[in-house]
Every structure is written in C-alpha cells, then in structure tokens.
Amino acid sequence: MKLSGKALCLGDHIDTDAIIPARYLVSGDPRELGPKVMSGLDPQWVNKVVPGATILVAGRNFGCGSSREHAPVAIAGAGILAVVARSFARIFYRNAFNMGLLPLEIGEAAFTAREGDDLAIDLQAQRLINKSTGQILDCPAPPPTMLAILEAGGLTPFVKKSLSRR
C-alpha cells in the first residue's frame, strides 16, 4: 500500500470529542461526518483538507477519550488518507483499522513534518517519507491481518469477503 498527500498537523492528546463532537453522532454516514471533522477544535479546520490528498500528522495519544467509532469514520469521510502519530489511544487505533483508516504509529522517532509538506507512506518498504525535506523514517508496517482489513475497506467488508469464500 502506497499513499501520498500533504501534511495537516495537530498536536498531542487530540480526543475523540475534538475529532467529532457528540452533537454530530446522530449519523454514522461518512458523508455527513466528514464535513464536521475536527470541528471540536476549529469549525473551519476541515476546509484545509484536500480530499484524497491529505495525511494527518499528530503527536502523542491521538484519539484519546471515548471509544466512538465515529471519529475514524469522520476522518476518512473528510477524505484524509491516513493518520501518522507518535502514539494512538488503543481503542482509536483498532477502530481506525475497523473503519478502513490507516493509523501509522511512529513512536518517538525524530520525524518532522510541517503543514503542507509532501508526505509519502510506503507500507511495503516500511517507510514514511517527507518529500519536502528529504527525511525518510523506517517504520514497521501494521500486522498482515490489519493490512488485510484495511485493503478490504474495513472490518465489515473484510468479514463479508471472508465469509463469501466459504
């Protein structure tokens, strides 16, 4: 899997209520949630997203707070390709895979990205590249089962596909 896009940067401890406030949880539709992503931080933040060409870069503990599946759905619904973070709240990390969104955890590696930098993720080569600065970070790909879930578009399509083979 290879992805590339412009960086949109956030800090540490971005919680699920900042990602998608509770008042929008009346829908699970990515088309309805996407335009509201990060409105808990800034209602205009989503206007920075270029659908299909944006990679979110965050700090530590991204997706902390409640275990709402709506958070990764909103991120993907806005057209964000992946979230690169130093660390993720465990429930968000698993929910992201289940909803078909790549969470790439880089730990304390010295990777830097500024808003607007051109980034590339190559999971096969296990590299994160900042094409704007030339920085390359070796990072382990997610486990094969998680990649299979991502490639299927999330857990539900993965299970349907698996059951149809029987």
Helix (H, G, I), strand (E, B) or coil at 45: helix
Residue 119 lies in a domain: yes
Q: How many domains does the chain have?
A: 1
149 domain-assigned? no
- Let me know if residue 164 belongs to a domain: no
Diameter over CA atoms, the chain: 48
Give percent of the chain above pLDDT 90.
Answer: 85
Hey, what are 104's tokens? 């790439």
CATH of the domain at 69: 3.20.19.10
User: Is 156 a domain residue?
Assistant: no
- Pairing, β 80-85 against β 127-130: unpaired
Q: What is the mean pLDDT of residues 130-151?
A: 92
CA distance 162 to 58: 33
Question: 32-53: per-residue pLDDT in tens?
Answer: 999 999 999 999 999 999 999 9
Predicted confidence at residue 155, as pLDDT, reads 94
Please report whether residue 118 resides in a domain.
yes
The pTM (predicted TM-score) of the whole model is 0.92
Q: Confirm whether 98 is domain-assigned.
A: yes
Summarize the confidence of residues 138-147 as an average pLDDT: 89
| Nearest partner of 87 among 78, 98, 96, 79, judged by Cα | 96
Over residues 63-122, the pLDDT tens digits come to 999 888 999 999 999 999 999 999 999 999 999 999 999 999 998 877 889 999 999 999
Tokens of 108: 């304390």
Q: Could you tell me where the DSSP H helices lie in 36-85?
A: 70-77
Over residues 123-152, mean pLDDT: 92
What pLDDT, on the 0 to 100 scale, is given for residue 77?
A: 96
- With cut-offs at 50, 70 and 90, classify the pLDDT of residue 19: very high
- The pLDDT of residue 88 is 96
State the chain's mean pLDDT as an integer.
Answer: 93
Asked if the model's pLDDT at residue 1 lies above 90, the reply is: no
Whole-angstrom distance, CA of residue 46 vs CA of residue 12:
18
Look at residue 107 in the predicted model and tell me its pLDDT: 87
Tokens 């698993």 correspond to what residue?
94
Q: Is the pLDDT of residue 166 over 80?
A: no
Tokens linked to 42: 């800034």
| Domain span including residue 65 | 2-141
> What pLDDT is attached to residue 111?
80
Q: What is the DSSP letter of 26?
A: T
* CA 138 – CA 154 distance, rounded (Å): 25
